Amino acid sequence: MKALQLHHELTAIWRTEPGWRGHLRSVNHSDIGKRFIVAAFVFFAIGGVLAMLIRAQLATPRSAFVGPEVYNQLFTMHGSIMMFLFAIPMFEGLTMYLLPKMLGARDLAFPRLSALGWWCYLFGGTIIVLAMLAGVAPNAGWFLYPPLSGRTYTPGINSDVWLLGVTFVEISAMCAAIEIAVSILKLRAPGMRLDRMPIFAWYMLATAGMMIFGFPPLILGSILLEVERAFGWPFFDPALGGSPLLWQHLFWLFGHPEVYIIFLPAAGAVSTILPVMARARLLGYGAIIAAIMALAFLSFGLWVHHMFTTGIPHMALGFFSAASALVAVPTAVQIFAWLGTLWSGRPQMKLPMLYLIGFFIVFVLGGLTGVMLAMVPFDAQAHDTAFVTAHLHYVLVGGFVFPMLAAAYYWLPHVTGRQRVMRIGEAAFWLIFIGFNLTFFMMHLTGLLGMPRRIDTYPEGMGWTALNLLSSIGGFLQAFGFALFLIDVVLQIGLGRVHRRNPWGATTLEWAMATPAPAYNFASLATVTDREPLSTQPDLGVRLARGEGLLAVARNGWRETMVIDMTTGAPEHVAILPGNSWLPITTAAMLGGFFLSMLAGLYAVAPLFLPMVAWLGWRWAWTNGYHEDVGPLDAGHGYRLPPSFEAERTTGWWGSVLALGASATLFTALLFGYAFLWTIAPNWPPPRLIAPSLAVPALASAGAALSVVTARQGRIAAALGGQAAIVVALVLLLWWAPAPTGHAYAATSAAIAAYGIFHAGTAMLILAFVAARARAGFHSPARSGEVRIARLWSDHGAAAGAFCAILLVVPGWLA
């Protein structure tokens, strides 16, 4: 009886409101995760239709099906959609849905942030697809190389759609990455030490880390290219001291890890599903974690393997060639760990396993061609041909789509609570598997026979005709396969019979709950003593539902979940999570207004949206916290833990650390660009440098010192003044600098100053917020968490501001 009452009370606190309000205001991770998955699949279908149009065009020589203008939009949109609107959001959705359940938590660390990410993704993706329907889709290839993507050669808004739309979507990816990392580090079941984490969490921790350090350079590149297009700042124009190669470095520099960012979550799904199918424990848990970390680290050192033919010296290429080939080692460790796991158990040929076999075959072949392409002389032949297209599809479809299909069949019973109805999934598998190999195996050969990628048609007599026809037939088989998969899923949702709990006999915590999952996941939280909680405690699900775990209370209408010590897994404090809210969707709408007015060329209107975003951010933060001391809460089992607003190191603090880490990465990439142009680009040194001045950097440094010292003494007004001094100093430098449109030196300098001004300005906003909160009674000696967070941002603003001011005058001194 107590269990039922607890269920009702928790549902009242956690539920999503019915009707359209629920759709707009929900912040629940299961809702957001499912939305991401559904939308990503819709975009996958759109990208798939584009692929079919491409294959129809290439099926015969001298085809007049679509002209080159349309064709260029087709392949650019196919690539962009599959990378940015399908693959990344798909694993984000899967992770958002699964992760808290696997970790034994009730939600993610920042529920409103995931909702914001969802709306940014939806709005950004919609902008891109609508542009395609309007015939102004991006058409410069999915990696958008300038000068082709620049204003001279793409005068329409096509490239702007890519730059603005994709950046909008990347905001969503950054939100998700911070969210996922903090949730894994802090929001786990008590007792779940790092070495007891489900392997999927390790994969996602590495992925989130790679996103935090991988996406900022891509975002920076997009900002610079958009500024060049909109305002004529010449970052990429060699006539004015820029270099088209700067884009390639920024795009691939950290944008390359994207491939591994897509592969790792899928590999995480494999490592989770495969042992269950094999009825064995995963072989080499520790070795796999080491392999994941090695992969994440190595993948940052091999961006140049996309640039082997750009004229980089051969010795440098040798280094990147070795790094690229070495990535095969941690990959092989995982492959053989999985094979060993299969050998340890008695594997069952259930449907998810069938898709895993497809993954093995396709991904191994893709990996082997990857090693071939890492060899510089061979790459010089195969680069930018159909061979590379074939390789990347083997890696991405093999390494992502097949595992995701396995994951779909494995976790659908969890999402729907139902079983499969007919054996359509097997037929879908064979169509997809045969169709895929027919399409892309042939393209290896077409590429070796000299067919470049991205050509809209070709003459007869090149030896490419029959191969292309076979590829196209394979492509259509594949499309039928995916249609069957969709039908299968719809049938399961509509007609499937209700199944018993944990149909696969899995050992991870997501199966210790009712399916479909209740809004609060667990009525009480598990205590974990080993890596496979459901094998040692088979009745755990029932006991948690009965309220025998921790936090088995519904109090004050609070959404409570446990925060633990990162390494030991000891309970630390209780997170009070925010409930459903208008803030995510309105904030995303304001950001959308900014991006749309940029797209429309209304450069005077666009900045007006930013104060609105700042105001919403203020409101957002204002709803956190509490206005009186509550003291430790009863968490059950004898634990008395403080609520999050009385804790020292909150999830918000960790989130801020990661956000600032991402920002610092973006700044590092900007400094890299500055140094790169200075040393490599033609037309340096620039005609005029910023005049050497001692007073301005001194002003900025004094402001920074003042801000750092006074923020620690609690003199917020003085700290605010320090940040203001930094802003004044940097604005003065901008004033004295040569016009940013004249030379890449002036343009990069202005970008550096803008970074400093933005961060000092943000610090001012946050300091003002803290002052207002203190006046409103939100702070006490116990409730000082947000003061600590503010200090983090203020210190960062101070350091960045002083550094920028000094850096900008140094060239003038040296000249």
Site residues for other proteins, window 666-685 (CB under 8 A)? 681-682
Within 722-761, the residues that bind other proteins by CB under 8 A are: none
- Joined together, the tokens standing for residue 200 give 């999927």
Judged by CB under 8 A, the residue of 310, 536, 556, 623 near other proteins is 310
> Read out DSSP for 151-183?
TTT--SSHHHHHHHHHHHHHHHHHHHHHHHHHH
Judged by CB under 8 A, the residue of 135, 318, 631, 685 near other proteins is 318
Instruction: Give CA–CA dist 214/261, Å, rounded.
Output: 9
Judged by CB under 8 A, the residue of 115, 201, 335, 747 near other proteins is 335
CB of 303 to other proteins, least distance (A): 16
Rule CB under 8 A: is residue 155 a binding residue for other proteins? no
Closer to other proteins at the Cβ: 677 or 757? 677
Site string for other proteins, 181-220 (x = CB under 8 A): ----------------------------------------
Distant-in-sequence, close-in-space partners of 181: CB < 8 Å, separation ≥ 6:
205, 208, 209, 212, 658
Within 625-654, the residues that bind other proteins by CB under 8 A are: none
Within 485-544, the residues that bind other proteins by CB under 8 A are: none
Q: What are phi and psi of 10, to 5 degrees?
A: -65, -40
Instruction: Give CA–CA dist 320/302, Å, rounded.
Output: 5
Judged by CB under 8 A, the residue of 180, 317, 396, 525 near other proteins is 317
Closer to other proteins at the Cβ: 95 or 369? 369
Helix (H) or strand (E) holding 121: helix 111-133
Helix (H) or strand (E) holding 407: helix 402-416
CB of 76 to other proteins, least distance (A): 9
Rule CB under 8 A: is residue 147 a binding residue for other proteins? yes
Judged by CB under 8 A, the residue of 148, 230, 514, 754 near other proteins is 148
Q: What are phi and psi of 155, to 5 degrees?
A: -70, -25
The site that binds other proteins (CB under 8 A) totals a number of residues, namely 84
Judged by CB under 8 A, the residue of 24, 280, 293, 705 near other proteins is 280
Distant-in-sequence, close-in-space partners of 421: CB < 8 Å, separation ≥ 6:
491, 492, 495, 496, 497
Judged by CB under 8 A, the residue of 106, 249, 306, 383 near other proteins is 383
Within 49-108, the residues that bind other proteins by CB under 8 A are: 68-69, 72
Closer to other proteins at the Cβ: 123 or 320? 320
CB contact at 8 A, 110 and 96 = no
Within 455-494, the residues that bind other proteins by CB under 8 A are: 455-458, 462-463
Judged by CB under 8 A, the residue of 2, 21, 23, 314 near other proteins is 314
CB of 323 to other proteins, least distance (A): 10
Tokens 């491939």 -> residue:
259
Distant-in-sequence, close-in-space partners of 401: CB < 8 Å, separation ≥ 6:
none
CB contact at 8 A, 60 and 69 = no
Q: For other proteins, which stretch binds (CB under 8 A), given 320-328, 502-510, 557-565, 598-606?
A: 320-328
Judged by CB under 8 A, the residue of 24, 372, 483, 718 near other proteins is 372
Judged by CB under 8 A, the residue of 382, 431, 690, 804 near other proteins is 382
Closer to other proteins at the Cβ: 378 or 678? 378
Rule CB under 8 A: is residue 322 a binding residue for other proteins? yes
DSSP-derived secondary structure letter, 562: E
- SS3 label, residue 560: strand
Instruction: Give CA–CA dist 266/351, Å, rounded.
Output: 17
Instruction: Give CA–CA dist 222/145, Å, rounded.
Output: 11
Q: For other proteins, which stretch binds (CB under 8 A), given 82-90, 189-197, 199-207, 360-368?
A: 360-368
- Joined together, the tokens standing for residue 131 give 């542009």
Within 703-722, the residues that bind other proteins by CB under 8 A are: none
CB of 427 to other proteins, least distance (A): 21
Q: Could you give the angle at the alpha carbon of 2 between the alpha carbons of 644 and 538, nearest 5°?
A: 80
Instruction: Give CA–CA dist 299/252, Å, rounded.
Output: 11
Rule CB under 8 A: is residue 380 a binding residue for other proteins? yes
Rule CB under 8 A: is residue 349 a binding residue for other proteins? yes
CB of 416 to other proteins, least distance (A): 29
3-state helix, strand, coil in the chain (%, to 5): 70, 5, 30
Judged by CB under 8 A, the residue of 95, 183, 207, 369 near other proteins is 369
CA of 242: how far to CAs of 155, 744, 748, in Å?
A: 19, 5, 10
CB of 42 to other proteins, least distance (A): 28
- N-to-C CA span, the chain: 81
CB of 773 to other proteins, least distance (A): 52
Strands (DSSP E) along 488-534, which ranges? none
- Joined together, the tokens standing for residue 249 give 């470095």
Rule CB under 8 A: is residue 295 a binding residue for other proteins? no
Closer to other proteins at the Cβ: 452 or 721? 452
Q: For other proteins, which stretch binds (CB under 8 A), given 216-224, 243-251, 656-664, 753-761?
A: 243-251
Residue type, 128: I
CA atoms within 13 A on the CB side of 289: 12
Rule CB under 8 A: is residue 316 a binding residue for other proteins? no
- SS3 label, residue 561: strand
> Read out DSSP for 786-807?
HHHHHHHHHHHHHHHHHHHHHH
- SS3 label, residue 327: coil
CB of 665 to other proteins, least distance (A): 27
Rule CB under 8 A: is residue 336 a binding residue for other proteins? yes
Q: For other proteins, which stretch binds (CB under 8 A), given 38-46, 220-228, 381-389, 400-408?
A: 381-389
CB of 505 to other proteins, least distance (A): 16
CB of 455 to other proteins, least distance (A): 4
Q: For other proteins, which stretch binds (CB under 8 A), given 28-36, 261-269, 308-316, 622-630?
A: 308-316
Rule CB under 8 A: is residue 341 a binding residue for other proteins? yes
Q: For other proteins, which stretch binds (CB under 8 A), given 211-219, 238-246, 708-716, 775-783?
A: 238-246
Rule CB under 8 A: is residue 434 a binding residue for other proteins? no
Instruction: Give CA–CA dist 227/220, Å, rounded.
Output: 10
CB contact at 8 A, 677 and 241 = yes
Q: By CB neighbour count within 10 A (0-12 exposed, 13-18 middle, 19+ buried), where does 674 fall?
A: buried
Q: For other proteins, which stretch binds (CB under 8 A), given 356-364, 423-431, 561-569, 634-642?
A: 356-364
Residue 241 backbone class (left: φ over 0; alpha: ψ -120 to 50; beta: rest): left
CB of 257 to other proteins, least distance (A): 21
> Read out DSSP for 409-434?
HHHHHHHHSB---STHHHHHHHHHHH
Closer to other proteins at the Cβ: 152 or 568? 152
